[in-house]
Amino acid sequence: MPMIGQLIPDATFTCYHQDQIQEINLQSYRGRWVVLVFYPGDFTFICPTELEDLGTLHAEFQKLDAEVLGVSTDSVYVHKAWRDVSQAVRDLPFPLVADAGGRLARALGIYLPQEGVALRGSFIFDPDGKLCVFEVHHNSVGRNMHELLRKVQAAAFVRENGGVEVCPAGWRPGDRTLKPGLDLVGKI
């Protein structure tokens, strides 16, 4: 099971990005937010809708100094073939990571060995490489990428404010925050 505070795995993976196969090491992203978006597989039904939405929000993630990585157990060659034929994922601005054998999915506790795929999961690691937010659910339910962006915004706000101010339910940038203390007990 994933645990808040666990470090991002120190591992190198192959990805398909900008029309080429590349190697990435997750530790190389230290100092930036890292958003891992696991999906069950290329050439499926829900996955391209999620990744397309994530692609449209990519610039907003980048404003937060967040690196977005799509991850499935497909090979880089399947990623390339999918990008070549699917309108939804053709122009994705972020890498698609090949987690062959589910090594990364296993490290985060979301690998389904009988199916050979990962659960649909989103993991946000802070600039220190520590897991601060995650969401995992059934593969038949798509995620809201605007909500994922909101979670990164909230985590970044809390980090920038040293936990002195925290974000209530549904918080968005510019909304009122809370300052934890005894004066709030029983008044909310």
Residues designated as active site: 47
Give the C-alpha separation, 2 to 28, whole Å. 21
Tokens found for residue 151: 């979670």
> Length of the chain in residues, anyone?
188
The answer to whether 88 and 51 are in contact (CB under 8 A) is yes
Angle, vertex CA 75, rays to CA 86 and CA 142, nearest 5: 55
Angle between helices 145-160 and 47-63 (to 10 degrees): 30
Give the C-alpha separation, 93 to 77, whole Å. 18
Place of tokens 């008044």: 187
164: exposed, middle or buried (C-beta count within 10 Å: 0-12, 13-18, 19+)?
exposed
